[in-house]
Amino acid sequence: MTEEKKKVAEVSKKEEKIEAKEGVETKAANETEKDLPLAIKIAKAANDMGAIAKDGKNKNQDFQFISESAIKAAVRKVSAKYGFTIFPKQIKNITRYERTTSRGGTLYFYDVMQEFVVTDGKEEMIGDMMGTGSDTGDKAFNKAVTVALKNFEKQLFNVSDKSENDPDSETPPETTGTRGNNQQPYQRQYNNFQNYRQSKKLSKTQLENYAVEFSNGQKHTLKEIFESAKTNGVTKKWLNSGNYDSTTGAYIKQLEAIYKAEQKVKAESQNSQQAPDQFEDIIAK
């Protein structure tokens, strides 16, 4: 064997040893990472994920957000590296309700409380997360479950793009009882959720006893406010201004509708008592 061939053979052996050593080290590192306690795995996974760039855009409100697919891709990568998985266990609570859109259509809502399990096969962590979905068709429930998972993963791994402003991608059609568009997207989404969740149909007594706290700290029931609006121009102007949260706005509309219906019934009753029926009118002639 020539000297040149000997040198080539020696270099090849050295390269093989280096590759074998690196392979052993990589395997050992992977085994070590997968042997960590589950809580440390999650902490390391969150650190590896880092900030996630906003890759989605809400065209209606003109803002960007981190999409569900971007979060899932990041979670899939770190969960494979550290050897754990996330799966839904059960839905603890489902609430379904409807709202009428400004165009007269029906918008369906689902609130779900979903339980999730994080496990590496040896340990497990369980957590709950709420999700709200809306749709004019039959996709509201699926959207609610999807949002619950997205929010759970965001909270578990502290997902952020550094701005901390992460509204959802869809803007629900404007429904009765909501505020105007002068709020920030995330604030509007939260207020709409409060409205959809809380402003269910109440009885007249419940609506009249609903208390509104003003900026000066004073509280007045809706019954007191409506009574005052009959003679007080300032109160009437406030009722028409919309300068209140969406839940209060929804209750004002509900109580106003009840009062108008009562006035209509009362007026019709008075008219029927004053005017003779057709049979009596014919006899009189």
pLDDT digits (tens, 9 = 90+) for 234-271: 888 888 887 777 778 888 888 888 888 888 877 776 66
Over residues 189-234, the pLDDT tens digits come to 444 444 444 445 678 888 888 888 777 777 888 999 999 888 888 8
State both tokens at 61: 């409100």
Nearest residue to 245 (alpha-carbon basis) of 206, 192, 204, 181? 192
| CA–CA gap between residue 98 and residue 108 (Å, rounded) | 5
Instruction: Decide: 139 and 153 in contact? Cβ < 8 Å.
Output: no
Task: Please say if the pLDDT value at position 135 is more than 50.
Answer: yes
Average pLDDT of the residues of the chain: 76
Q: Mean pLDDT across the stretch 74-89?
A: 94
Please indicate whether residue 86 or residue 18 has the higher confidence score (pLDDT). Answer: 86
Over residues 51-66, the pLDDT tens digits come to 888 888 877 777 788 8
pLDDT for res 54: 86
| CA–CA gap between residue 55 and residue 67 (Å, rounded) | 6
Q: For the residues of 73-109, what is the DSSP string, one character each?
A: HHHHHHHHHHT-EEEEEEEEEEEEEEEEBTTS-EEEE
Indicate the pLDDT class of residue 143, thresholds 50, 70 and 90: very high
Q: Give CA separation, 147 vs 114, 167, 176, 228, in Å.
A: 10, 11, 24, 43
pLDDT for res 212: 83
**Rg of the chain's alpha carbons, rounded to an integer?**
31
Point out the least confidently predicted range of 41-55, 139-153, 181-195.
Answer: 181-195
Q: At a CB cut-off of 8 Å and minimum separation 6, what does 249 contact?
A: 177, 178, 179, 195, 242
DSSP state of 50: -
Point out the least confidently predicted range of 17-31, 65-79, 117-131, 205-219.
Answer: 17-31
Domain annotation for the chain: domains and CATH numbers: 13-193 (3.30.390), 199-284 (no CATH)
| CA–CA gap between residue 42 and residue 87 (Å, rounded) | 15
* Long-range own/partner contacts, residues 134-139 (CB < 8 A, 24 or more apart): 134/107, 134/108, 134/109, 134/110, 134/170, 134/172, 134/196, 135/107, 135/108, 136/101, 136/105, 136/106, 136/107, 136/108, 136/173, 137/108, 138/108
Indicate the pLDDT class of residue 17, thresholds 50, 70 and 90: low
